[in-house]
Chain A
């Protein structure tokens, strides 16, 4: 057990730069916004994994399973609240983190690659939030997703992406399954890989610039 603890400790340590500038060691320097966003992401993964045990990605079963989670699963309402709340925090913190990076000039060369990775993460986070919106299959979910699809339709190549995401109709079996697979597997996995690359770049560039 001790060896496992050491392994986790060493792994976490290696995610961060070995040394940092002393004068940057105060909360107000970056407000820890990136770290806070990543913490919300971890809470999202854990709470989402718990919801998966009861959620049914079918047109008939989705809404019923949400009612079941809310009313019959022990602590289910709380896990759902937590998942929803963490998703809102995650997006707000990512927006603020992006704002901080832009206004302190941390996106500039020689950190341009990490800016691109972060930009990709922000886009994926928005897409993740959007795909999750449909899953409860209530009125809010259906019509917010429908409106989002109408927005997508106005974009160049929007109809192409729309036909991939929604091969039948919003909330119909195939579109629900596609949103589900994207939301619980493909997007989170891509985000986790990009997060690791993001951290690796920070560690690699620790000596390049006097930023945390």
Chain B
């Protein structure tokens, strides 16, 4: 037990610091970043392109290629959900970043993360009328 220290005060100091820092960042930024608000909802006025919420845009971009992509999204979700039970995830005995014993998982995670990021950026900034590719800047 000699490697262990009591959470209070050692660990709690970090917890309190991050808690206060987060609150301050949010309270300050809220002064300067306005929540968007467009005109009242009008079902007869369809925007082109019609984009989903930012956190779903990568799925919209994928499905725009073919609706079958939805099975890729579902499959990926299921793989991540049951990841601890897959043979590519050995039982852990030591915490480390990008551990060598889970190489396949590291590649899968980084590829998925960068893919989602890339698709989100494309959908957000490079899609115009009828979902055609445009330069948004």
Question: Which residues of A pack against B, CB within 8 Å?
Answer: 13, 16-25, 27, 32, 35-36, 39-40, 43, 63, 66, 70, 77-78, 80-86, 88-89, 91, 99, 102-112, 115-116, 119, 126, 129-130, 133, 136-144, 146-148, 151, 154-156, 169, 171, 209-212
The residue from A18, A81, A156 contacting B7, defined by CB atoms under 8 A apart: A18
A148/B52 in contact, CB under 8 A: yes
Number of residue pairs A-B, CB distance < 8 angstroms: 198
B15 at the interface (CB under 8 A from A): yes
A86/B26 in contact, CB under 8 A: yes
Chain B interface residue count, Cβ-Cβ cutoff 8 angstroms: 71
Given A43-B23, A103-B110, A107-B89, 12 additional A-B pairs, CB 8 A:
A22-B10, A35-B15, A82-B30, A103-B106, A104-B99, A108-B91, A109-B92, A112-B85, A115-B84, A130-B56, A143-B50, A151-B60
B94 at the interface (CB under 8 A from A): yes
A142/B43 in contact, CB under 8 A: yes
- A102 cross-chain contacts in B, Cβ below 8 A: 80, 83, 105, 109
A50 to B81 Cα, complex, angstroms? 35
B129 at the interface (CB under 8 A from A): no
A212 to B12 Cα, complex, angstroms? 12
A39/B70 in contact, CB under 8 A: no
Assuming the contacts A133-B53, A147-B51, asked whether A142 and B41 have C-beta atoms less than 8 A apart, the reply is: yes
B5/A25 in contact, CB under 8 A: yes
B31/A104 in contact, CB under 8 A: no
B10/A20 in contact, CB under 8 A: yes
A19 to B10 Cα, complex, angstroms? 9
A23 to B5 Cα, complex, angstroms? 10
B11/A143 in contact, CB under 8 A: no
A84 to B22 Cα, complex, angstroms? 15
Give, as a whole number of angstroms, the nearest-CB distance from A100 to chain B: 9
Give, as a whole number of angstroms, the nearest-CB distance from A204 to chain B: 14
A84 to B85 Cα, complex, angstroms? 37
A21 to B1 Cα, complex, angstroms? 9
B22/A36 in contact, CB under 8 A: yes
B41/A116 in contact, CB under 8 A: no
The residue from A25, A77, A86, A209 contacting B14, defined by CB atoms under 8 A apart: A25
Give, as a whole number of angstroms, the nearest-CB distance from B85 to chain A: 7
B47/A81 in contact, CB under 8 A: no
Within 8 A of A (CB), among B45-104: 45-47, 50-56, 59-60, 63, 67, 70, 74, 80-81, 83-85, 89-99, 101-102
